[in-house]
């Protein structure tokens, strides 16, 4: 099977690694790819925002499957154009990708599907914004309605900061704060069936101690020893399956990866957000743990044939730590050359791009060993630029409470 992977970040590097491990995958092509992906795939200098060029590349290569990594091309309708050209495509249509492209749309679908989420208000002017901030109170949760690269959400006790962020958005969703540990749980769907993956937890804040601005993600780990034993099936039954059924009922079936960001509150599981693609950095811990061959799994989803498929997982734990450029996320500074990369058993170095430079994933018998391997890998990277990282403190309180 010949696969075209669209994207060029650490998420796509991890997906490429998973595809390479599938014996059914004979060729991997990636557009645009990166230096790390180039070691295991043929890369092509095609922009993820150029739908026509992506479709033409798929034609030239005569691929059997296209896997779309980032959200931008999905929201731009690349999956529709690829399917119209006859290519099996893992990724939702433009209409279905609005679950990520518009938080207000996601709220409407959740309401119709009976999926529990935070109370919210969608606002387009200052009067509406101030009313919503006063209604829900602090901590204020303010979300840009559209795509913002994982950085469109502000959670703060400072009303002035919340107001300023809301006013900077054309349309903004303001909602009640959900108090509870957060997890990410992905589902792979063929439009009618959805299979839940194991959960992961990521860390959004830029600095140590869960401080600083929200980012696209500074680290993640899986599995979650503290999570309820039934969280996978509960989320599939109460969240993922109803959303897939509702999207199908609307005539816009969701084929691809449905990412549910969840809060485990005292009142039960509540949805924080949906994304329409694999998450970054969660993919960097989930793909290395997945025993089921990735290529055929995604192909079966793309060709609407997931009935009877069950996922198998390795028992090992995985921890990824992100190295980001100084000043990330608001003003990342250009770094110098990375001259030495580590070669440590059970450690993967995934190349990223932009403000997040590398994701280093350690695999171990438990989370502590996995984390230690990730940091050992970091210690062997030699560069002449400046990085910072978020420490993932997997202490007793984290293991017990997921904080």
- Domains of the chain (ranges plus CATH)? 2-94 (3.40.50.20), 119-175 (3.30.1490.20)
CA distance 340 to 359: 15
In this prediction, residue 306 carries a pLDDT of 97
300, 344 Cβ separation under 8 angstroms:
no
29, 63 Cβ separation under 8 angstroms:
yes
Q: Which helix (H) or strand (E) holds 188?
A: strand 182-190
CA distance 91 to 113: 21
152, 114 Cβ separation under 8 angstroms:
no
Distances from the Cα of 383 to the Cα of 128, 199, 281, angstroms: 49, 33, 22
Strands 205-207 vs 347-353: parallel, antiparallel or unpaired: unpaired
75, 148 Cβ separation under 8 angstroms:
no
Q: Is the peptide bond before 281 cis (omega within 30 degrees of 0)?
A: yes
Per-residue pLDDT of the chain (403 residues; tens, 9 = 90+): 999 999 999 999 999 999 999 999 999 999 999 999 999 999 999 999 999 999 999 999 999 999 999 999 999 999 999 999 999 999 999 999 999 999 999 999 999 999 999 999 999 999 999 999 999 999 999 999 998 766 688 999 999 999 999 999 999 999 999 999 999 999 999 999 999 999 999 998 888 888 888 888 999 999 999 999 999 999 999 999 999 999 999 999 999 999 999 999 999 999 999 999 999 999 999 999 999 999 999 999 999 999 999 999 999 999 999 998 888 888 888 666 776 677 888 999 999 977 888 999 999 999 999 999 999 999 888 776 666 666 555 443 344 444 4
Name the token pair of 266: 């005292």
In this prediction, residue 398 carries a pLDDT of 40
- pTM of the predicted model as reported, rounded to 2 decimal places: 0.94
In this prediction, residue 253 carries a pLDDT of 98
Name the token pair of 327: 């000043």
Q: State whether residue 136 is helix, strand or coil.
A: helix
73, 66 Cβ separation under 8 angstroms:
no
Name the token pair of 218: 């500074």
CA distance 213 to 207: 8
In this prediction, residue 401 carries a pLDDT of 41
320, 221 Cβ separation under 8 angstroms:
yes
In this prediction, residue 385 carries a pLDDT of 64
Name the token pair of 402: 């997921």
Q: Which helix (H) or strand (E) holds 349?
A: strand 347-353
């Amino acid at each position: 099977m010949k696969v075209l992977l669209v994207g060029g970040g650490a998420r796509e590097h991890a997906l490429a690694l998973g595809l390479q491990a599938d014996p059914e995958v004979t060729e991997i092509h990636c557009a645009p790819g990166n230096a790390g992906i180039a070691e295991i795939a043929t890369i092509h200098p095609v922009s993820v925002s150029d739908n026509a060029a992506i479709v033409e590349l798929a034609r030239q290569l005569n691929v059997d499957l296209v896997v779309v990594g980032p959200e931008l091309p999905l929201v731009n309708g690349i999956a529709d154009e690829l399917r119209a050209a006859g290519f099996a495509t893992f990724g939702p249509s433009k209409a279905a990708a609005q679950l990520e492209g518009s938080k207000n749309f996601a709220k409407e679908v959740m309401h119709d599907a009976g999926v529990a989420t935070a109370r919210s208000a969608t606002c387009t002017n200052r009067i509406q914004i101030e009313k919503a901030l006063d209604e829900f109170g602090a901590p204020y949760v303010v979300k840009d309605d559209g795509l913002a690269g994982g950085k469109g959400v502000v959670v703060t006790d400072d009303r002035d900061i919340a107001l300023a962020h809301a006013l900077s958005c054309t349309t903004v969703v303001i909602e009640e704060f959900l108090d509870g540990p957060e997890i990410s749980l992905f589902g792979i769907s063929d439009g009618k069936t959805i299979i839940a993956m194991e959960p992961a937890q990521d860390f959004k804040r830029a600095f140590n101690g869960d401080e600083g601005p929200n980012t696209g993600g500074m680290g993640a780990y899986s599995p979650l020893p503290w999570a309820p034993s039934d969280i996978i099936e509960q989320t599939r039954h109460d969240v993922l399956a109803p959303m897939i059924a509702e999207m199908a009922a609307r005539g816009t079936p969701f084929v691809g990866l449905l990412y549910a960001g969840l809060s485990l509150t005292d009142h039960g599981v509540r949805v924080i957000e949906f994304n329409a693609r694999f998450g970054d950095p969660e993919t960097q811990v989930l793909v290395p743990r997945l025993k089921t061959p990735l290529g055929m799994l995604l192909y079966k989803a793309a060709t609407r044939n997931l009935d009877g498929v069950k996922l198998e997982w390795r028992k090992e734990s995985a921890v990824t730590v992100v190295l980001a450029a100084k000043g990330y996320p608001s003003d990342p500074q250009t770094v110098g050359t990375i001259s030495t990369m580590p070669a440590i058993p059970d450690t993967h170095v995934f190349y990223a791009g932009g403000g997040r430079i590398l994701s280093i994933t350690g695999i171990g018998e438990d989370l502590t060993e996995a984390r230690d391997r990730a940091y050992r890998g970091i210690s062997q990277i030699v560069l002449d630029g400046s990085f910072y990282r978020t420490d993932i403190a997997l202490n007793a309180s984290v293991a017990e409470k997921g904080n």
